[in-house]
Amino acid sequence: MSRPTPQSLPPPSAPANTYQATGVDAAGAARGLQGLLASLRRTISIRGPGRDGEVLLDFGHYANVIRVGDHGIAVSTDGVGSKILVAEMAGKFDTLGIDLVAMNVNDLLCVGAEPLCMLDYIAVKRVDDRLLAELGVGLEAGAEAAGITIPAGEIAQLPDMLAGADPDQGLDLVGTALGIVAPDRGRHQTGGRQASGGCRPSAPRGRSSAGRWRTASYPAGPRRIAHSPTVRDDAYQ
């Protein structure tokens, strides 16, 4: 698998630490989301109050909870996103699965759930044995650390849809996780104040309060790394 040159990504626009500078239209997404949610919200009544599958939380949380008998099943979905470009520039993919598990499990914890399992969705421009093996290593390590299983998933080959830092290789990695929680606990444990060590859903994603990159959502990161004169190839190893 070839390693792409840093020039394969355009330099960041100034100021590079904003979503807009990386081509992400947050305001447009918020507007467009309203039409999508109008349709999705109407599906909530399909499994009405008192039925298995009743939705217990409104939209807008990191995860949702559905009622199944006397239990609440927490569900969340998340992807690795632009961090894949960093992995492509490094030629190193064995930590992406750890990140994927962490992002999904963390979202379940935000509604007070115990994570149980995660399904993975892997989309590739072309099949590469080493790439898939490294993804598997990370997924296994993440599952072991989180105490969950990965009982199923999907691989899709999408040569006409995917493009990455390497023009010969494109990748997307997404997970959907399930957990268990008492139904009433799922209703109430969704605010900004959590027990010590828990997640704070109101905290901004992408950067920590200290200014260091977190593992969630930094679209400017790949461009900064690719065009930084202080970043060496061996720093990825």
pLDDT, tens digit, for every residue of 121-157?
999 999 999 999 999 999 999 999 999 999 999 999 9
| Interval 5-53: pLDDT, tens | 444 555 555 455 566 666 677 788 888 888 999 999 999 999 999 899 9
pLDDT of the residue at 190: 58
3-state secondary structure of 142: helix
Mean pLDDT of 145-174: 92
pLDDT of the residue at 197: 43
pLDDT of the residue at 165: 79
Whether the pLDDT of residue 179 is over 60: the answer is yes
pLDDT of the residue at 10: 55
Question: Does the model's pTM come out above 0.85?
Answer: no
pLDDT of the residue at 218: 52
Type of residue found at 169: Q
Backbone angles phi, psi at 231, to 5 degrees: -95, 125
Whether the pLDDT of residue 202 is over 60: the answer is no
Mean pLDDT of 158-185: 89
| Domain spans, the chain | 52-230
Which of 141-145, 182-186, 224-228 comes out lowest in average pLDDT?
224-228
pLDDT of the residue at 62: 92
pLDDT of the residue at 14: 47
Mean pLDDT of 189-214: 41
pLDDT of the residue at 200: 43
Confidence category of residue 1, pLDDT binned at 50, 70, 90: low
Q: Considering only CA atoms, which of 217, 232, 237 is closest in space to residue 85? A: 217
pLDDT of the residue at 205: 35
CATH topology of domain 52-230: 60s Ribosomal Protein L30; Chain: A; (3.30.1330)
* CA–CA dist 61, 63 (Å, integer): 5
Q: Considering only CA atoms, which of 95, 8, 33, 108 is closest in space to residue 65? A: 108
Q: Considering only CA atoms, which of 158, 159, 165, 11 is closest in space to residue 92? A: 165
Percent of the chain scored above 70 by pLDDT? 68
Whether the pLDDT of residue 199 is over 70: the answer is no
* CA–CA dist 62, 110 (Å, integer): 7
Confidence category of residue 203, pLDDT binned at 50, 70, 90: very low
